[in-house]
Amino acid sequence: MNIWIGTIQLGVKSLWLHPMRSVLTVLGIFIGVASVIWLLAISKGIGDEAQRQIESLGADTIMIRTVKPPSEKMSAQGLTPYGLTRKEFDILVATVPTIRSALPIREMRRQFQFKDRKLDGRLVGCTPEYAEVTRLDLQSGHFITDSENFSGDTHCVIAAKVAERLFPYEDPIGQRIYMPENQGFYLVVGVLKPKGSTAAIGGSMAAQDFSNDVYIPIKTLQQRIGDTVMSFRSGSREGEIIELNQITLRVAEVSDVKRTAELVQDTLSSHDKMEDIAVVVPLELLEQARTTRAMFMLFMGMIAAISLLVGGIGIMNIMLATVTERTREIGIRRALGAKRRDIIRQFLVETSVLSLAGGITGILFGLLCGPAVNGARILANMWFEKQMAELPEVVRTVQPSIVPESIPGAFFISLIVGLVFGIYPATRAAKMNPIEALRHE
Residue pLDDT, tens place only, 368-418: 887 887 777 778 777 877 777 666 666 667 777 787 777 887 778 777 877
Residue range 42-56: mean pLDDT, rounded: 70
Q: Report d(CA 126, CA 307) in Å as an integer.
A: 53
pLDDT band at 171, cuts 50/70/90? very high
Q: Could you tell me which residue, 305 or 38, shows the higher pLDDT?
A: 38
How high is the pLDDT of residue 392? 62
How high is the pLDDT of residue 158? 95
How high is the pLDDT of residue 166? 94
Q: Report d(CA 391, CA 384) in Å as an integer.
A: 11
Q: Could you tell me which residue, 56 or 134, shows the higher pLDDT?
A: 134
Q: Could you tell me which residue, 109 or 11, shows the higher pLDDT?
A: 109
Mean of per-residue pLDDT scores for the chain: 78
Helix (H, G, I), strand (E, B) or coil at 360: helix
pLDDT band at 203, cuts 50/70/90? very low
How high is the pLDDT of residue 200? 52
Share of the chain above pLDDT 70, in %: 74
Rounded to 5 degrees, φ, ψ at 154 are: -90, 60
Q: Which residue spans within 242-314 are E strands per DSSP?
A: 246-251, 277-280
pLDDT band at 115, cuts 50/70/90? confident
How high is the pLDDT of residue 156? 94
Task: Classify residue 270 as exposed, middle or buried by CB count within 10 Å of its CB (0-12, 13-18, 19+).
Answer: exposed
Residue range 245-264: mean pLDDT, rounded: 84
Alpha carbon 51 to its chain centroid, in Å, reads 7
What amino acid occupies position 361? T
How high is the pLDDT of residue 1? 55
Write the pLDDT tens digit of every residue in 329-380: 666 766 666 677 777 777 777 777 777 888 888 888 888 887 887 777 778 7
CB neighbours of residue 233 within 10 Å: 7
pLDDT band at 231, cuts 50/70/90? low
Q: Report d(CA 60, CA 310) in Å as an integer.
A: 47
Rounded to 5 degrees, φ, ψ at 213 are: -90, 145
Q: Which span out of 89-93, 252-256, 400-404, 431-435 was modeled with the highest average pLDDT?
A: 89-93
pLDDT at position 112 over 90 = yes
Write the pLDDT tens digit of every residue in 131-159: 888 888 899 999 999 999 898 889 999 99
pLDDT band at 15, cuts 50/70/90? low
CB neighbours of residue 336 within 10 Å: 8
Write the pLDDT tens digit of every residue in 64-91: 888 888 776 666 555 778 888 899 999 9
Any alpha helices (H) in 134-233, and if so which ranges? 146-151, 160-166, 218-224
pLDDT at position 168 over 80 = yes
